[in-house]
């Protein structure tokens, strides 16, 4: 009888404890915390992923790292806003569109301008030889990506209205297929897709961003993460800075070492790396003003639902 009562008591106790811990779970241990990072096949985050150095920096803080690849900046920032990832890196235009859509993120840092890292390409046998000749043509590019602004500014330089071309909004893989089959006349794209098209199918650069757009690369964080865990943001920026110092001026070594891990041929990666820039730092007044000009341009073209104030979502140093 005593054993039976003990079994009944034990069963009841176990059930009560199960209900209690469901209602009031124990705090996750530090080792259970994860920083989720979104990256693309360009920029310095992909180099950082290849080195494994961020994992080493975050382990003493009790965090592990997961990496998720995105085809372009707009879906990456959508994932930040949805809470699916914590940090990411994109070009200059995606955060403008994301801010206009009320995405909840902050700028945390940027790399220096890299205007040669994006361009409008035409096929090697294309009759188009100048910017003026793309008037009335089909131009493929990713809507809301950095190359969207490149197209706008290059058209302006050539005296062509945005309404005088036919934009074909395609992600990089689909755009390349359309480019190769002749479904579009030109393709605005960034590295390493740009370098790959040049190296493998002989694509010709009609114009890049030199003297026209800065092509800054920006780093972002969910506002909630930046507010609650500033030490994580600082550790990520520090890890990128270390990678920058390693990669700058060593494109051949970096390309050879990282090629297999990130799935880009070393020859293509080296071309892209030579056009990339290094030296992560907080946003300064000039960089914020450049972003504001982009935002104002898109709003004037009717591409944004409302104006945005870039400075309102910039994380200040030490915050």
Cα–Cα distance for residue pair 243/228, rounded to 1 Å? 25
In a domain, 4, yes or no: no
pLDDT for the residue numbered 258: 82
Backbone phi, psi, residue 158, to 5°:
-85, 0
Same domain, yes or no: 165 and 295:
no
Q: Which range scores top for mean pLDDT: 27-36, 42-51, 180-189?
A: 180-189
pLDDT at 157 over 90: yes
pLDDT per residue over 262-306, tens digit each? 788 999 999 999 999 999 999 999 999 999 999 999 999 999 999
Domain boundary among 189, 208, 227: 208
pLDDT at 3 over 50: no
In a domain, 18, yes or no: no
Same domain, yes or no: 140 and 66:
no
Backbone phi, psi, residue 109, to 5°:
-175, 175
Domain count, the chain: 2
Domain boundary among 208, 236, 269: 208
pLDDT band at 319 (very low <50, low <70, confident <90, very high): low
What average pLDDT score do residues 115-142 get? Answer: 97
Q: Please tell me the pTM assigned to this model.
A: 0.83
Same domain, yes or no: 93 and 221:
yes
Query: Which of 27-36, 145-154, 165-174, 240-249 is predicted with the least confidence, judged by mean pLDDT?
Result: 27-36
- Kindly report the average pLDDT of the chain as a whole number: 88
Same domain, yes or no: 110 and 120:
no
Domain boundary among 159, 190, 208: 208
Question: Which residue segment(s) compose the domain that 159 sits in?
Answer: 116-208
For the domain that residue 186 is a member of, what is the CATH number?
A: 3.40.190.10
In a domain, 25, yes or no: no
Same domain, yes or no: 109 and 224:
yes
């Amino acid at each position: 009888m005593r054993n039976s009562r003990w079994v009944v008591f034990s069963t009841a106790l176990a059930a009560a404890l199960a209900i209690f811990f469901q209602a009031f779970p124990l705090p996750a241990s530090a080792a259970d915390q994860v920083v989720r990072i979104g990256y693309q096949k360009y920029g310095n985050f992909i180099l950082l992923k290849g080195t494994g150095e961020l994992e080493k920096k975050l382990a003493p803080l009790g965090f592990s790292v997961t990496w998720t690849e995105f085809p372009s900046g707009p879906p990456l920032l959508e994932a930040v806003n949805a809470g699916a990832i914590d940090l990411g890196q994109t070009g200059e235009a995606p955060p403008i569109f994301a801010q206009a859509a009320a995405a909840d993120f902050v700028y945390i840092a940027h790399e220096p301008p890299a205007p040669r890292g994006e361009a409008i390409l035409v096929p090697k046998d294309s009759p188009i030889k100048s910017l003026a000749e793309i008037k009335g043509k089909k131009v493929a590019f990713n809507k809301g990506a950095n190359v969207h602004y490149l197209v706008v500014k290059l058209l302006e330089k050539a005296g062509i209205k945005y309404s005088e071309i036919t934009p074909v909004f395609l992600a990089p893989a689909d755009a390349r297929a359309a480019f190769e089959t002749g479904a579009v006349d030109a393709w605005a794209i960034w590295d390493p897709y740009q370098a790959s098209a040049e190296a493998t199918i002989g694509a010709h650069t009609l114009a890049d961003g030199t003297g026209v757009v800065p092509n800054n690369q920006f780093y972002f964080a969910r506002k909630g993460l930046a507010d609650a865990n500033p030490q994580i943001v600082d550790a990520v920026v520090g890890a990128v800075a270390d990678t920058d110092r390693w990669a700058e001026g060593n494109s051949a070594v970096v390309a050879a070492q990282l090629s297999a891990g990130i799935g880009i041929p070393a020859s293509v990666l080296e071309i892209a790396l030579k056009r990339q820039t290094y030296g992560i730092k907080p946003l300064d007044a000039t960089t914020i003003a450049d972003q504001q000009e982009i935002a104002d341009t898109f709003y004037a073209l009717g591409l944004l639902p409302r104006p945005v104030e870039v400075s309102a979502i910039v994380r200040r140093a030490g915050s």
